[in-house]
Structure 1
Amino acid sequence: METDDLTPAELRVWRAFPRGTDVDLRTTEDADPAAGSAWGPERTVRAAVLRSLLLNGPREDGETALLSLAGARVTGVLDLQYATIEVPARLRHCHFDEVPRLYGCRLRELNISESVLPGLVAHGVHVEGILRMTRSRFRGVVRLGGAQIAGSLYLEGAEISAPDPQTPALQLNQVTVGDDLWAPGLRVEGEIRLSGAGIGGTVNLNEVRLSHLGHAALDAETLGVGGHVLVRYARVRGWMSLRGARIGGRLDLSYTQLSNPGEAALRASSSTIGELWLRNGPPLDGTLNLRRAQLEVLFLDSAMVPERVLLSSLTYTSLIPHEPAERRLPMLERDGDGYVPHAYEQLSAGYQRIGDDRAARAVRLAKERRHRATLSGAGRLWGLLQDATVGYGYRPLRAAGWLLSLLCVGSLVYALHHPPALKPSEAPAFHPVFYTLDLLLPVISFGQEPAFAPEGRYQALAYVLVLTGWILATTVAAGVSRTISRQ
């Protein structure tokens, strides 16, 4: 490109390039690039000039070339598709009239912070350093699918809105980032697609505002993250999907509001996560789906549990904070899959690991009662009997109370009305307490029951004591066996 064809503003940029000197065309520090379409020729640079500089701009010996431009209106399409750019490009506080095209481009570094763009096409872009779009505003789709960024990707404070709600607004699917994805304060109207992405460091989405109600606000299926995923103090309208994600550190949703009424609010099924934190926020407005998830630590405030959960095959090593079983059990009763035995076993095992045997027994008892509701006629009746008598074996003192009550009744009745001896000459001395024990305890004999034969209604009482004794003995044995098997 001949310098004679350049405007005064373009000539400044051209001359500054070989030495890497900054060119700032702003008249005031707070000039809003959103108004850039009204900027005159003194602040206008053609995209073709920038392309020529980046591809084969002038060089000076002993100097490092750099494109550093601020406060410009960029007209035309900045087309760098499949190009290899060996110098860093910094286009800050700029207004782009048309969507830059960086498909398959190779860059040292790109910084378009605090600029306003109608979108970005950068599928498969390779960046050797960092890609910085801090506080940039996009009025269209940002396409970075398959991008490879050796350093970090910065999107903090950026704003993105897609005119077509069916098209993901921020496309980061299959992207590879060597360090962090840093985007606190990001605002997106539409979907963020992170499916299949790999992030070596941390994903920071603190204080984001995502809005795509009834649809995916964040689709991060099979996401792989070496560090943490931080989504603290966020507001998400639409569902978050982390199905099949692999997160080495913490998925932190503390103080976050997730809202997608009538549908899933958080999907983390089949994921493997070091720690999942759901705390200090309002209840999820929508379903919490943790089916088949594998967690080391589940930090879950009972107050954040929504009205519907899906917990089938969820496994976790630790459940914190430590709360009474009575506060944890309602979560299991809200499972959309109905009665899920594994969920009760997991909760019981969690209490058992920290030595809270009372809470563990309470969970197992709740499991038996929930299971009873799934049975029919005879099974449900037998369950009611076990529950009333010995609490399915988890309330052994209840059986002792029943036996003691029956022993008192039988001893009093037979003390007042001795049953006649079958063989008076051979019968031992009658003792009402041991006679009643003989009736109640089927495996113990004190020699009283075979020697005496009550008559009439006292014989009917004897039958009741024998039958009740057998039932109590059977339920106690079943409960003890069940308890031992849990251990």
Structure 2
Amino acid sequence: MEINDLTPAERRVWEAFPRGASVDFRTPDADTEAAEWGPERTVRASVLRALLLTAPQEEGETAALKVAGARITGVLSLMYATIGHVVRLSHCRFEEAPKLHGAQLRQLNLRQSVLPGLASGNVRIDGILRLTDCRVHGPVRLDGAQISRALFLDGARLSAQDDAQPVLQLNQAAIGDDLWAPKLRVRGEVRMNGIHVAGSVNLEDADLSAHAGTALSAETLSVGTDVRARCLRADGRLELRGARIPGRLDLLHARLSNPGGTALRASSCAIRELWLRDGDRIEGVLNLRRAQIDLLTLAPEMLPDEVFLSGLTYTMLTPNEPAERRLPMLDRDGGGYLPSGYEQLSAAYRRIGDDNAARLVQLAKQRRHRATLAWYARIWGHVQDATVGYGFRPLRAAGWLLSLLAVGSIAYGVHPPHPLKASEAPPFNAVFYTLDLLLPVIDFGQERAFSPTDWYQGLSYVLIITGWILATTIVTGVTRTVSRQ
């Protein structure tokens, strides 16, 4: 390109480039609509391309493209080009989407610019990529991008006309530092499957809306530290299947909504800490199948009507809530009766020393299991529940023993049984005779010496059978308590 072909605005940019000087076309009273920006602030994309690829250097100076407030016409195409200069095009308005596919740049800053899209698949940036406060009205393609430092999307507004395509695509991208996107606003799908972020992902106060579609797809996401998403608002599915998060997934104060579908899927994930509390009730399904979590912070009031927890393992569960508030979570499991869920919850209570809560969970497990049995087995289950609480209510068993002891003592006290051998029988004692019948391991010599008749003999059989059952229940309960200690 001949320098004589340049407009005055383009000449300012051309002359500033070799020295790395900034050119600012902004005026305090200028309207923000690009259509009203005249030739005094219009720069052709072809001029910028020629600068970056062919412009001479000045000795002792560091060349850089630093332009603010320009209207850029045409397509800025740097496909497969190698650019060794800093590129900063802030507060600019692009008429066409830049094409940076396969390019290698030192640094790219598009802060507060307005673009109809950005095609930058497989781009390599040796510094940072800054899209802070940008407004993009078309798809942003950064799949396969390699960014050695950070990607900034804080305050950006992204939308697209075609709902069938992702608005922001970062599949298989590699970011050497943080993905910084607080207050990001997206209307459409964000897709970052297989992305690797060496630092953290910040989505605090972000607003992702896909109108009951997938708001964020981050399958097999891998981060170095945390995913911070406090106050996140997601209208659509959050897909985190297979993610690896060695720090925390922070969803405090989040609002997750996808009625009729899955609101959050974090199945097969490995997460050190998952925080789900202090937010609105989740609208949609919560799927944590096969996830491995060290610390699960889950507020019962955030749980939706349906959850999937099969294969979920966790070490600690906070906040410390009564078992009665945690058990509905297991009742809502769409996978049906899963003993492992009750075992996990019971183990979590035992780790903090709350044995009573652990027993309540085990009792609830037996009751839930009872509902899956045949009718005749359910009858026996109801008997076990009412009498001894499936063995988790040993004091109830002791109460039944005392009641039966009283019944037997009164019955045999009023109608003593006949001695088998009158000359050898000891004096009859109704209390100890009943104890002989009830307690299988104790022998006071009464049962062997006396024999009841008529219905009193039937009563003795009942006392023997119930005594075996109740005594075994008491011993089992005591043994379980001792073994935990």
Equivalent residue of 2:290, what SS?
coil
The residue type equivalent to 1:340 in the other structure is L
- Structure 2 matches for 1:409-448, cutoff 5 A? 409-448=407-446
1:159 aligns with 2:189: no
1:94 aligns with 2:131: no
Alignment partner, residue 6 of structure 1:
6
- Check 1:195–1:179 CA distance in 2 against 1; reply closer, same or farther (3 A cut): same
The residue type equivalent to 1:131 in the other structure is L
Alignment partner, residue 246 of structure 2:
248
1:277-307 deviation per Cα after TM superposition (whole angstroms, max 9, x unaligned): 0010011001110000011111111111111
The residue type equivalent to 1:394 in the other structure is F
Equivalent residue of 2:367, what SS?
helix
2:40 to 36, 42, 58: 42
The Cα shift of 1:236 comes to 0.5
Alignment partner, residue 184 of structure 2:
186
The residue type equivalent to 1:403 in the other structure is L
Equivalent residue of 1:88, what SS?
strand
**Distance (whole Å) between structure 2 residues aligned to residue 21 and residue 13 of structure 1:** 9
The Cα shift of 1:463 comes to 2.5
**Distance (whole Å) between structure 2 residues aligned to residue 461 and residue 14 of structure 1:** 109
The Cα shift of 1:464 comes to 2.2
1:451 to 449, 453, 464: 449
1:326 aligns with 2:298: no
Alignment partner, residue 24 of structure 2:
24
The Cα shift of 1:486 comes to 7.3
Q: Is the 8 A contact 2:148 2:175 kept in 1?
A: yes
Equivalent residue of 2:76, what SS?
coil
Equivalent residue of 2:98, what SS?
coil
1:350 to 338, 348, 357: 348
Alignment partner, residue 227 of structure 2:
229
- Structure 2 matches for 1:46-57, cutoff 5 A? 46-57=44-55
- Structure 2 matches for 1:194-343, cutoff 5 A? 194-343=192-341
Q: Is the 8 A contact 1:47 1:78 kept in 2?
A: yes
**Distance (whole Å) between structure 2 residues aligned to residue 486 and residue 170 of structure 1:** 52
Q: Is the 8 A contact 1:17 1:58 kept in 2?
A: no
**Distance (whole Å) between structure 1 residues aligned to residue 456 and residue 153 of structure 2:** 87
The Cα shift of 1:59 comes to 1.4
* Worse-superposed segment, 356-365 or 165-174: 356-365
**Distance (whole Å) between structure 1 residues aligned to residue 73 and residue 245 of structure 2:** 42
Equivalent residue of 1:108, what SS?
strand
The residue type equivalent to 1:228 in the other structure is D
Q: Is the 8 A contact 1:190 1:212 kept in 2?
A: yes
Paired residues, number: 485
Alignment partner, residue 117 of structure 1:
115
The residue type equivalent to 2:270 in the other structure is T
**Distance (whole Å) between structure 1 residues aligned to residue 224 and residue 279 of structure 2:** 26
**Distance (whole Å) between structure 2 residues aligned to residue 470 and residue 10 of structure 1:** 99
Equivalent residue of 1:109, what SS?
strand
Equivalent residue of 1:86, what SS?
strand
Alignment partner, residue 404 of structure 1:
402
The residue type equivalent to 1:190 in the other structure is G
**Distance (whole Å) between structure 1 residues aligned to residue 278 and residue 103 of structure 2:** 44
- Check 1:29–1:331 CA distance in 2 against 1; reply closer, same or farther (3 A cut): farther
**Distance (whole Å) between structure 1 residues aligned to residue 57 and residue 325 of structure 2:** 70
1:104 to 102, 105, 115: 102
The Cα shift of 1:336 comes to 0.6
- Structure 2 matches for 1:121-140, cutoff 5 A? 121-140=119-138
**Distance (whole Å) between structure 1 residues aligned to residue 307 and residue 480 of structure 2:** 28
**Distance (whole Å) between structure 2 residues aligned to residue 10 and residue 132 of structure 1:** 24
* Worse-superposed segment, 193-202 or 391-400: 391-400
The residue type equivalent to 1:9 in the other structure is A
1:221-242 deviation per Cα after TM superposition (whole angstroms, max 9, x unaligned): 0000001101111210001011
1:78-125 deviation per Cα after TM superposition (whole angstroms, max 9, x unaligned): 000000001000001111001100000000000011011000000000
Q: Is the 8 A contact 2:91 2:111 kept in 1?
A: yes
Q: Which runs of 5+ in 1 are unaligned?
A: none
1:363 aligns with 2:367: no
The residue type equivalent to 1:405 in the other structure is S
Q: Which runs of 5+ in 2 are unaligned?
A: none
Equivalent residue of 2:85, what SS?
coil
**Distance (whole Å) between structure 2 residues aligned to residue 141 and residue 412 of structure 1:** 87
The residue type equivalent to 2:5 in the other structure is D
Quote the sequence identity (%).
62
Equivalent residue of 1:406, what SS?
helix
Q: Is the 8 A contact 1:393 1:482 kept in 2?
A: no
Please tell me the root mean square deviation across aligned C-alpha atoms, in Å: 1.6
Alignment partner, residue 61 of structure 2:
63
**Distance (whole Å) between structure 2 residues aligned to residue 268 and residue 384 of structure 1:** 37
Q: TM-score, normalised by structure 1?
A: 0.96
